[in-house]
Chain A
Amino acid sequence: MIWEVFRQEEPGDYHQHVGNVHAPDREMAKQFAQIQHARRMQTNSLWVVPQSEIGEVTAEEASFGGETDKSYRWAMTYNDIDASFAEEVAESEEEQREAAEKRTEVNS
């Protein structure tokens, strides 16, 4: 049986997928995950999840975010407005800009 492994480096971090292990049951999966993924890497917590329990949808079958122009839902669209007056608004816009750039890079 294959178990997907998610590692959290520090308390408060997200658990991130780091790979998978072969194991007959949950207990063994936790053991193997520790050995393979937490021996050297800083680790606060590990999750193991049976691979068969994971549902997947890919860019081939779905068009994430839709196909029509949805620029109205991005902060950058309102470029006559200066977000710098509030750092949290500016930060949000910056995160959106990065996300949008990544999207166009991948799609082009």
Chain B
Amino acid sequence: MDIETVEQRAGPRQFGPSDELPEEYRRAATRMIQFHANSEVMGGYLDKEFTRHAPSLDRKLANTAKVQDEIGHAQLLYRAAETLGVKTREEMLDELANGEGKFLNCFHYPVDSWYEAPMIDFFVDGGAMRRQATLKRTSWTPYAHAMDKICFEEGFHVKHGESILRELMTSSKAVQERVQETFEEWWPRILQFFGPTNDESHHDEFAQRVGLKTVSNDELRNSFLNMYVPKAEKYGLEIPEYPRIFERDDGTMAVREEDLDWEEFWTIAKNDYEGSHEQIGSRRRRQEAVEWVRQAMDSWDTTAESAPQAAD
């Protein structure tokens, strides 16, 4: 198939491993899915930090379940990416460990308090869920199938995240103030989650033409603002004056892009931010620390009497 045919046929779940697709399509799809898979890993690593901060056993359990889900999402996505025949799972994991692999901006900021949990679990997961729901209609079938299962699970993450926010915002005044402070720190990062709107990158334009992506960053951020700004306000959070949010003629919301720190964003995009080094480094060190588990798995004696137990 040549690019013209791909563009003509582009539609939800149109292409799969049995189609012969041009290199350009397979590379673009790999880039996109690998980024997504990396983000699930790094999001899971960041989120696991909240388990020890969580104030109750229920919250701790829910948090570990969420982390387990995210790592599972990464596994599904690396498989979906691998089906394109451009990179192996091993190569993608190596790239993530050595700092080449790219991932979402929000996961480049180390966290160390429970007040940050709803920023990630409600707002970031909520934003991710917006995007992921649209990817059920991507043209690469294995990617769409991974989305079916991921979206099935994500409802729990977002609702649990909102439940944390609600709990915090209905407790003492001091707690509410801490949440507000934390929100002000995170809000611009959350707005940048969808990337720059005006100059949709070259990659994005191609991804839309061949049906890999079905909705633009701009539309996604808009719908996110329309849904999540009222939510924040409902719980008594005050939207910071900057970056300015405004209403467009059609009633949808948008953000003044010049109010956001794009230098930081692009440094992050290159994995060159302080936080990037910290997050990538701490994950790599943890991977090294559990090397013995992987080795034990590799040399698993299949004649062993006890059957392996699934982590349920």
Contact = CB atoms under 8 A, between A and B. Distances in A.
A78 B167 CA distance: 12
A52 interface: no
Contacts of A75: 155-156, 158-160
Given A14-B145, A95-B152, A89 B65 contact: no
B231 A85 contact: yes
Contacts of A78: 156, 159-160, 162-163
Interface in A63-108: 63-66, 70, 72-75, 77-78, 80-81, 83, 85-93, 95-96, 99
B236 interface: no
Contacts of B15: 11
A62 interface: yes
A12 interface: yes
Contacts of A80: 163, 166
Contacts of A89: 126, 129, 154-155, 158-159
A45 interface: yes
A99 B69 CA distance: 17
B88 to A, nearest CB: 22
Given A12-B12, A12-B144, A72 B61 contact: yes
B156 A81 contact: no
Contacts of B16: 11-12
Interface in B267-283: none
Q: Is the interface of B mostly helix, strand, loop or mixed?
A: helix
A65 B156 CA distance: 16
Nearest to A12: B13
Interface residues of A, number: 33
Nearest to A8: B16
A11 B152 contact: no
Interface centre among A11, A14, A74 (most CB of B within 10 A): A11
A72 B155 contact: no
A73 B160 CA distance: 9
Contacts of B231: 85
Contact of A81 (B58, B159, B307): B159
Contact of B312 (A66, A85, A93): A66
B130 interface: yes
B163 A88 contact: no
A59 B129 CA distance: 32
Contacts of A73: 61-62, 65-66, 69, 156
Contact of B151 (A72, A77, A92): A92
Given A72-B58, A75-B160, A89-B155, 4 more contacts: A73-B156, A78-B156, A78-B163, A92-B152
Please give me the 9 A-B residue pairs with the lowest Cβ-Cβ distance, nearest first.
A12-B13, A92-B155, A66-B312, A88-B133, A75-B155, A73-B65, A72-B62, A78-B159, A75-B156
Interface of B: 12-16, 18, 58, 61-62, 65-66, 69, 126, 129-130, 132-133, 141, 144-145, 151-156, 158-160, 162-163, 166, 227, 230-231, 307, 310, 312
